[in-house]
Amino acid sequence: MSDNISTTRLQVMWNRLLSLVEEQGQVLTRAAFSPIVRECGDISAGLFDADGLMLAQAVTGTPGHVNTMAEAVLHLRRHFPAESMKPGDIYMTNDPWLAAGHLNDFLLLMPAFKHGKVVGYASCTSHLVDLGGLGMGPEGSDIYDEGLLIPPCRLVSNGEPNALLMDVIRANSREPIGNEGDIYALIACCEAGVNRLLAMMDEFGIDDLQTLSRYIIDTSRRGTVQAIAQVPNGSYRNMMRVDGYESELELHATLTVTDTAMHVDFSGTSGCSKKGINVPLNYATAYTVFGLRCVVGSDIPNNAGSLGPFTVDGPPGCILNAQHPAPVAMRHTLGQVTPDLVLGCLHQAIPEAVPAEGASCMFDLPMRHAPEVAREGGRRFAIEPVHNGGTGARPHSDGLSATAYPSGVFGSQVEITESVAPVIIWRRELRQDSGGPGQFRGGLGQSIELTSANGAPFIVFLSVERLKFPPLGRMGGLSGAPGRICFRDNDQEIPGKGELRVTAKDYLIFETPGGGGFGPPADRNKDAMELDIRRELVSSDRARTDYGVNP
């Protein structure tokens, strides 16, 4: 391919790639069977050059899938050399340390061939709702308790799916039909990416992506380095206390900023848990870098160039660098706290640019039928409804209520949940007074109340954070409300981690945290305060005690 391509033409092709990955993402979500994929967008999709460097990623998707995918493609390319690949092949793994951090995420890779040569790749990831084992919860003692692990393999050969592998996956799931449908949706996503990429190359008359790749990566890296240069050099440290499982934990981060790079070190972080809340480093890295990029170079597209200046490390065996065979099923519980952890470092360097802490991790409720229900011929099901708390207030505006940050996974809809699982959700509403008071108020959490719909017991796998340690405010802002789980007829609070049995008589109440506030509450705009009271986001009592306002 000639290097003599104008910058304008290269930019047009870059924009085309960004549109192609969005189409990939839409194919995956529209073809998927599971609500967490179809309705919530728990996916990633991307296009890569012949060297496996990410050129574009779909905006629809989670950092835990997108940023891990960028590294996973390099792993698969090393495992399967391009010379061994054939048109129509698709490769797959769900190895947590190679893919997206736990077994339930399947990552696929498909090569794109032009004139008999690999010119690029399409890749994608999505969540499968059940892979056997103890279920989607934190109760496993090692990775072998948590379900079916599939090493790097060829899922599709010359356009034909591996029938034996598909049989094995179906045989190891409580939701075999949903899993099969989601895998075919992943295959369709890869095929759409490859087909659209080749069509684009034909349209622009190019035979490889080398020049375009250099332009995208070099431009993005330069822009990112320029953004990093605006942050004062130095080392900044932060520590967060989190609920943990057996005991409370400490997460430590040291952010080192130079003229051209940022490095995060987790030294000092608590060791691994005996339960499945441990985090592989690839997943912790994905969210840590995402947190930094929300502030530093946030307007630069995510690709190998913009990700390159950020590096992350941690002592092997700490809970943010769990080693095989540690249990990691609920790795998102702490992995999604790392943006707040590292933003606490960045706040020391640029205090006026960093938001307050938020609810952080998803407040999902993986649930399935109780074992005796299956034995007695009752309705079997496995589902993972997702809910979110409030985000932290921003330096110039309020936080967002019941919003997925940093995961980006949409909240599950009541009607969809009730249509695929025997539960009734009686109430779902914003939690009054849960947003941290401040000049800019933290986003509100939400309250969800549910029961069994058919009188049969079911199991909920709890693994949430911020029940003991609420999201902190910044610059004089106050903390948001902590989360809370209980049964209505027994006000005793339920721990945030473990296997919870819900019987026919139980009425489960699940409250997500609110985000921290930013700036002194006394400085809140009077009109904004009046609107909060009128909308019942803040009660009259709390307006007086927290803001000094007499409604």
**Domain residue ranges of the chain, discontinuous segments joined by +:** 7-222, 355-551
Question: What DSSP assignment string belongs to 197-223?
Answer: HHHHHHHHT-S-SHHHHHHHHHHHHHH
Confidence of residue 203 (pLDDT cuts 50, 70, 90): very high
- 3-class state of residue 12 by DSSP: helix
Residue positions counted in the chain: 551
Confidence of residue 550 (pLDDT cuts 50, 70, 90): confident
pLDDT (0 to 100) of residue 11: 97
pLDDT (0 to 100) of residue 238: 98
pLDDT (0 to 100) of residue 3: 66
Single out the residue of 228, 236, 475, 233 nearest to residue 355, CA to CA: 475
pLDDT tens per residue across span 46-56: 999 999 999 99
Alpha helices, H only, 294-370 = 304-307, 332-335, 338-349
> Residue 105 forms beta bridges with which residues?
127
pLDDT tens per residue across span 352-368: 999 999 999 999 889 99
**Which of these ranges, 132-141, 265-274, 287-296, has the smallest mean pLDDT?**
132-141
Instruction: Report residue 473: phi and psi, to 5°.
Output: -85, 175
pLDDT (0 to 100) of residue 374: 82
pLDDT tens per residue across span 275-303: 999 999 999 999 999 999 999 999 999 99
- pLDDT above 50 for 74: yes
- pLDDT above 80 for 267: yes
Alpha helices, H only, 32-96 = 35-38, 63-79
Instruction: Report residue 281: phi and psi, to 5°.
Output: -60, -30
Percent of the chain's residues with pLDDT above 90: 94
* Count of other CB atoms within 10 angstroms of residue 370: 18
- 3-class state of residue 233 by DSSP: coil
Taking residues 131-160, report their average pLDDT.
95
- Token representation of residue 201: 């190359």
- pLDDT above 50 for 226: yes
CB-based contacts of 3-11 (< 8 A; 24+ apart in sequence): 3/211, 5/211, 5/212, 7/215, 9/204, 10/211, 10/212, 10/215, 10/216
What's the CA gap between 450 and 427, in Å, rounded? 7
Q: Do residues 416 and 462 lie in contact, with contact meaning Cβ atoms separated by under 8 Å?
A: no
Single out the residue of 441, 407, 430 nearest to residue 512, CA to CA: 430
On average, the pLDDT of the chain sits at: 96
Q: Is the dihedral of CA 148, 153, 156, 157 positive or negative?
A: negative
What Cα–Cα distance (Å) separates residue 102 from each residue in 25, 326, 396, 433, 479?
A: 21, 11, 37, 35, 31
- pLDDT above 80 for 181: yes
Which residues have CB under 8 Å from 221's CB, separation 6+? Answer: 305, 306, 308, 309
- pLDDT above 80 for 1: no
Taking residues 436-456, report their average pLDDT.
97
> Residue 394 forms beta bridges with which residues?
397
Q: Where would I find the beta strands (DSSP E) of 165-305?
A: 234-242, 249-257, 262-265
Q: Do residues 165 and 171 lie in contact, with contact meaning Cβ atoms separated by under 8 Å?
A: no
Q: How many helices and strands (H and E) does the chain possess?
A: 14, 19
- pLDDT above 90 for 120: yes
- pLDDT above 60 for 147: yes
What's the CA gap between 363 and 463, in Å, rounded? 8
Distance of CA 389 to the CA centre of its chain: 14
Give the distance between the most distant pair of CA atoms in the chain.
Answer: 75
What's the CA gap between 414 and 258, in Å, rounded? 47
What's the CA gap between 283 and 274, in Å, rounded? 19
pLDDT tens per residue across span 472-525: 999 999 999 999 999 999 878 999 999 999 999 999 999 999 999 999 999 999
- Token representation of residue 458: 């079911």
What Cα–Cα distance (Å) separates residue 340 from each residue in 242, 358, 482?
A: 12, 7, 15
Provide the residue type at 397 as one letter: S
Question: What DSSP assignment string belongs to 8-77?
Answer: HHHHHHHHHHHHHHHHHHHHHHHH--SHHHHTT--EEEEEEETT--EEEE-SSS-HHHHHHHHHHHHHHH
Distance of CA 128 to the CA centre of its chain: 14
Single out the residue of 225, 217, 303, 291 nearest to residue 260, CA to CA: 225
